[in-house]
Amino acid sequence: MLEKHYRNGSASLQAMAPPVIRLVALAAALILLMPSVAVADDEWGEDGRRLEVDRSSDWFELRSDRVAGDVRDEVCLDLDGSNIRFDFELRESPDAVETEAGIRLELERVIEFRDANGDGAFQSSDDVRAEYDAGDLTLTSLTSDPASSGGVDGIEVTATYNFTDIPGASLVFRATAFGNVTTFQGLPQRPVDVKLDLVLMDFPYEEGDTLPAIELKVAAEAPRGPNVTARDVSFTSGNLTSFFSWKDVADVDGTERPVRTTAVRLPDEVDGGEVEVVLSLTFAYARGANIVHDPTFGFDLASVGAVVTLLGNWGFYAFGAVLAAVVFGSLALARRGRKAKGP
């Protein structure tokens, strides 16, 4: 009986072999295709970008261009030094007049405040002891230097502002971009990301029980309004999403300390004939003399965003689905084989 059962089982497996092999081959083909599909959907690519900087005594433009076949795009970060205003824009091509998407960031003020409720965040009800806007800051230098991370070359541009009539105190904006995907200071950098360090040096406290904060105005075209989370602000227009994200810790006198963020929706504004959604975004820091915080500008393809978000698990889901198809297909074939043979 045992020998007969074995022979019957062996025959069933042999009969099943061609369909199963075809299913396994299909699974292998799908798995091999997955990286190609993911790359095809991601129009940004990872073939490298050309980085350039144009600058004067009070202005710079950091450009990241890419040409890959018929696909061209240019990402620009402009600093208007006198007004301490950044414009981060994506253009369909380097010579395009209109932008596809963009985000604007301006310094509103640097604040010294007394934290009324002790939560570490700046609220409108908190007691402001001192504040400094663009008129209280003087642009003293604007430099650009090569940067490198993981063997990938990049460019770093630094704008330094001194607090007027306060010797030694300064506010620094440091923008860094790379020509390819890499990591910098622990943050992943994609070709359409530009890292922006906010640096306070020798902050001029007037009192002994206060905290420092940087208040920014962030604006962009976004018909559906902004999406605000604990670590980023994003604006979607069409199939493009522009974002301004940040770490929830800052280096305060050499130690990582929490950053408390407050976002407040402001009335819409018209800029260049376009209606923009506007937010007031305030980063409050632990008390210290020297503070370094590193937000990031970037763009995402909205149509690809879900795939990118799930890409780390998508392959496993697909692989599991294909394996399930193989297993169920095999069971169905085996059941059909057994039914044909009878008991």
Residues 110 and 188 in one domain: yes
Task: Please give the C-alpha separations between residue 19 and each of 16, 324, 329, in angstroms, as whole numbers.
Answer: 6, 15, 8
- Read off φ and ψ for residue 33, nearest 5 degrees: -75, -25
How does 281-300 read in b/e, with b if 16+ C-beta sit within 10 Å? bbbbbbbbeebbbbbbbbbb
pLDDT of residue 192: 77
Q: Name the DSSP letter for residue 20.
A: H
pLDDT of residue 65: 85
Asked whether residue 170 is assigned to any structural domain, the reply reads: yes
* Structural domain range at position 140: 50-294
Task: Please give the C-alpha separations between residue 14 and each of 19, 24, 28, 324, 325, in angstroms, as whole numbers.
Answer: 10, 15, 21, 21, 19
pLDDT digits (tens, 9 = 90+) for 47-58: 567 888 999 999
Asked whether residue 301 is assigned to any structural domain, the reply reads: no
Residues 104 and 228 in one domain: yes
Residue with tokens 């007004």: 83
Residues 288 and 167 in one domain: yes
Residues 18 and 135 in one domain: no
Asked whether residue 300 is assigned to any structural domain, the reply reads: no
Q: How far apart are CA 142 and CA 174, in angstroms?
A: 10
Residues 161 and 140 in one domain: yes
Residues 37 and 59 in one domain: no
User: Could you tell me if 225 and 127 are in contact, meaning their C-beta atoms sit under 8 angstroms apart?
Assistant: no
Residues 6+ apart with CB under 8 A from 104: 85, 86, 87, 88, 217, 218, 219, 220, 271, 276
Residues 105 and 214 in one domain: yes
- Cross-strand bridge partners of residue 61: 54, 78
Tell me which amino acid residue 238 is: G
Q: How far apart are CA 292 and CA 176, in angstroms?
A: 14
Which of helix, strand or coil describes residue 289? coil
pLDDT of residue 119: 94
Residues 93 and 224 in one domain: yes
Residue with tokens 């763009």: 299
Residues 326 and 191 in one domain: no
Q: Which helix (DSSP H) or strand (DSSP E) does residue 79 occupy?
A: strand 71-80
Residues 33 and 180 in one domain: no
Asked whether residue 121 is assigned to any structural domain, the reply reads: yes
pTM comes to 0.73
Q: What is the CATH number of the domain that holds 141?
A: 2.70.98
The pLDDT tens digits along the chain (343 residues) read: 333 333 333 333 344 445 544 544 444 443 333 332 222 233 445 456 788 899 999 999 998 887 666 666 788 999 999 999 999 988 765 555 455 778 999 999 999 999 999 999 999 999 999 999 999 999 999 999 999 988 888 999 999 999 998 999 999 999 999 888 788 777 777 777 899 999 999 999 999 999 999 999 999 988 878 899 989 999 887 778 888 999 999 999 999 999 999 999 999 988 777 888 999 999 999 999 999 999 999 887 654 333 333 223 333 333 333 433 443 344 344 444 444 445 4
User: Could you tell me if 5 and 311 are in contact, meaning their C-beta atoms sit under 8 angstroms apart?
Assistant: no
Beta strands in 165-305 (DSSP E): 170-178, 182-184, 187-189, 193-201, 211-220, 226-228, 232-237, 240-245, 249-252, 255-258, 260-271, 274-284, 291-293, 296-301
Asked whether residue 195 is assigned to any structural domain, the reply reads: yes
Residues 170 and 275 in one domain: yes
Number of structural domains found in the chain: 2
Asked whether residue 128 is assigned to any structural domain, the reply reads: yes
Residues 55 and 195 in one domain: yes
Asked whether residue 267 is assigned to any structural domain, the reply reads: yes
pLDDT of residue 334: 43
Alpha helices in the chain (DSSP H): 2-41, 302-341
pLDDT of residue 102: 86
pLDDT of residue 8: 39
pLDDT of residue 93: 58
Asked whether residue 94 is assigned to any structural domain, the reply reads: yes
pLDDT digits (tens, 9 = 90+) for 147-175: 998 888 899 999 999 999 899 999 999 99
User: Could you tell me if 250 and 257 are in contact, meaning their C-beta atoms sit under 8 angstroms apart?
Assistant: yes
